């Protein structure tokens, strides 16, 4: 199967809007180029160019809603993608109905954003997750979190108001990606500008970080019961390593079976057990190795990589709190590879063995499909 772009060209995650969000634009794309791109579909009445950390995003506003819908619909069904200067441009509806000037009397643009996290599990969203989300738009200088009557909130400081505006425009009203909070329920972001310009952070802790000052002392609350630092000098949380990995799979255009996971993770050492399950609308898996060192190597090598060619089935990996998985039966969702004599038959007459999938064909055959080469560890199987 031929490779496709690692990103979808259009998204339907937002309801229709007269404003379209464009990504992957050429460097310093001009307003004239944006108008020409939208001209076949209607009158472009407003634009906002060169936003985002890499200045490769933009917004265009049509005069009528049906004109924006026409543009999205056309490229959704066309074999030819939208392009500017030969680069494929990715389209989606904006969560705004119009492009407005940020500097109003009610909401003056600044370099510090006030973020309210909404959702049942909002208070469980860590400062590290917020740092990952907002760092997509530029270097985050400082973050502080706190609870008020409005709920769980955070102040996020950027270098300048332009970077903060880009983050606000893109993230306000959006949900935190599920793969960043696999064990939590949906959490959305409500963002306004803060009157602050420079946050005061005296200690690195689970509630506040200064990413510009790695020598800032670590608060006692950031030291765990063993006396070890749970926050490093760089302000990042020190994740507790484990021999069991939690893998979340994003963009599942192909089926990911237990046998595929076994092949992927066995490249780094013997896999003892695997348990797959559905959570938060996605597929996750627990993979147990015999020791922590093997799990660390696998996590570092596989994090962010895709199982299938074309950017499909992307892996996001963290350490699990489990150390020994309880596998009660070997089937297509769970497997204990230490039970050498345990066989379970599937519905097609094949059988599962402790050393992998046997099936109705040749021993060791994997499901057919384009398997992406992860740093040389995986190869094409059919």
Q: Which whole number is the average pLDDT over 182-193? A: 88
Residue 381 belongs to some domain of the structure: no
What average pLDDT does range 250-265 have in this prediction? 86
Asked whether residue 98 is domain-assigned, the answer is: no
| Residue 50 banded pLDDT, cuts 50, 70, 90 | confident
In-domain check, residue 63: yes
Is 130 found in the same domain as 74?
no
Query: Among 146, 170, 200, which residue terminates a domain?
Result: 200
Query: In terms of domains, do 331 and 284 share one?
Result: yes
Q: Is the pLDDT of residue 58 over 80?
A: yes
The yes-or-no verdict on residue 379 having pLDDT over 70 is no
At residue 311, does pLDDT exceed 50? yes
pLDDT at 242: 85
- Is 123 found in the same domain as 70? no
Note whether residue 235 is domain-resident: no
Task: With a cut of 60, say whether residue 51 has pLDDT above it.
Answer: yes
Q: Is residue 367 part of a domain?
A: no
Q: Which helix (H) or strand (E) holds 285?
A: strand 282-288
Task: Mean pLDDT check: name the lowest of 44-48, 176-180, 354-358, 373-377.
Answer: 354-358
**Strand 19-23 and strand 57-62: pairing?**
antiparallel
For residue range 62-89, what is the model confidence (pLDDT) as tens digits? Answer: 989 999 999 999 988 888 889 988 889 9
Domain of 346, CATH number, reads: 3.30.70.330
If asked whether residues 252 and 352 sit together in one domain, one would say yes
Domain that holds residue 329: 244-357
The tokens for 279 are 């959570």
Residue in the block written with tokens 């190795």:
289
pLDDT score, position 261: 92
**Is 315 within the bounds of a domain?**
yes
273 and 341 co-located in one domain: yes
Residue 375 lies in a domain: no
DSSP state of 54: T
Q: Residue 340's pLDDT is what? A: 56
The reported pLDDT for the residue numbered 367 is 39
In a domain, 335, yes or no: yes
Q: What is the mean pLDDT of the chain?
A: 77
Q: What is the pLDDT of residue 18?
A: 92
Pair 248, 279 in one domain: yes
- Pick from 2-16, 42-56, 73-87 the range whose average pLDDT is largest: 73-87
pLDDT tens, position by position, 268-298: 889 999 999 888 777 899 999 999 888 888 8
Per-residue CA distances from 379 to 51, 226, 373 (Å): 38, 42, 5
Q: Above pLDDT 70, what percent of the chain?
A: 77
Q: How many structural domains is the chain composed of?
A: 3
Pair 328, 253 in one domain = yes
Arithmetic mean of pLDDT, 179-191: 87
pLDDT (tens digit per residue) in 93-130: 888 888 875 443 335 788 999 999 998 888 889 888 99
Look at 214 and 324; give whichever has higher pLDDT: 324
* Domain termination residue (choose one: 200, 234, 268): 200
CA distance 42 to 3: 33
Residues 260 and 333 in one domain: yes
Question: Are residues 117 and 68 part of one domain?
Answer: no
Q: Are residues 260 and 344 in the same domain?
A: yes
Burial of 324 (0-12, 13-18, 19+ CB in 10 A): exposed
Angle at 302 between CA 300 and CA 308, to 5 degrees: 170
How many CB atoms lie under 10 A from the CB of residue 382? 9
Are 80 and 119 in a shared domain? no
Residues 150 and 179 reside in one and the same domain: yes
């Amino acid at each position: 199967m031929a490779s496709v772009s690692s990103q979808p060209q259009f998204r339907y995650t937002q309801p229709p809007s007269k404003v379209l969000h464009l990504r992957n634009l050429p460097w310093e794309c001009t307003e004239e180029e944006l108008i020409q791109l939208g001209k076949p579909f209607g009158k472009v009445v407003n634009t906002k160019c060169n936003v985002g950390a890499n200045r490769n995003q933009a917004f265009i506003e049509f005069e009528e809603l049906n004109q924006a819908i026409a543009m999205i619909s056309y490229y959704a069904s066309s074999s030819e993608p939208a392009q500017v200067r030969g680069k494929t441009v990715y389209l989606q509806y904006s969560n705004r109905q119009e492009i407005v000037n940020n500097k109003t009397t009610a909401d003056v643009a600044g370099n510090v954003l006030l973020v309210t996290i909404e959702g049942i599990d909002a208070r469980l969203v860590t400062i590290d997750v917020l740092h990952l989300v907002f760092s997509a738009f530029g270097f985050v200088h400082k973050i502080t979190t706190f609870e008020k009557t409005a709920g769980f909130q955070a102040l996020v400081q950027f270098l300048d108001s332009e970077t903060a505006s880009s983050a606000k425009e893109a993230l306000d009203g959006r949900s935190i990606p599920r793969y960043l909070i696999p064990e939590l329920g949906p959490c959305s972001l409500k963002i306004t500008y803060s009157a602050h310009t420079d946050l005061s952070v005296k200690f690195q802790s689970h509630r506040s970080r200064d990413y510009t000052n790695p020598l800032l002392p670590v608060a006692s609350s950031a030291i765990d019961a063993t006396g070890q630092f749970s926050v490093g000098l760089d302000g990042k949380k020190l994740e507790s390593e484990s021999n069991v990995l939690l893998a979340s799979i994003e963009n599942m255009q192909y089926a990911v079976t237990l046998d595929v996971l076994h092949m992927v993770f066995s490249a780094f050492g013997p896999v003892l057990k695997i348990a797959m399950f559905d959570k938060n609308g996605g597929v996750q898996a627990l993979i147990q190795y015999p020791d922590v060192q093997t799990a660390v190597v696998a996590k570092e090598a596989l994090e962010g990589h895709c199982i299938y060619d074309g950017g499909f089935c992307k892996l996001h990996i963290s350490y699990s709190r489990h150390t020994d998985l309880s596998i009660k039966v070997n089937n297509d969702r769970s497997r204990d590879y230490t039970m050498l004599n345990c066989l379970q038959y599937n519905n097609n007459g094949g059988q599962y063995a402790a050393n992998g999938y046997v099936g109705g064909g040749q021993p060791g055959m994997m499901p057919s499909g384009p398997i992406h080469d992860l740093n040389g560890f995986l190869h094409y199987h059919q």
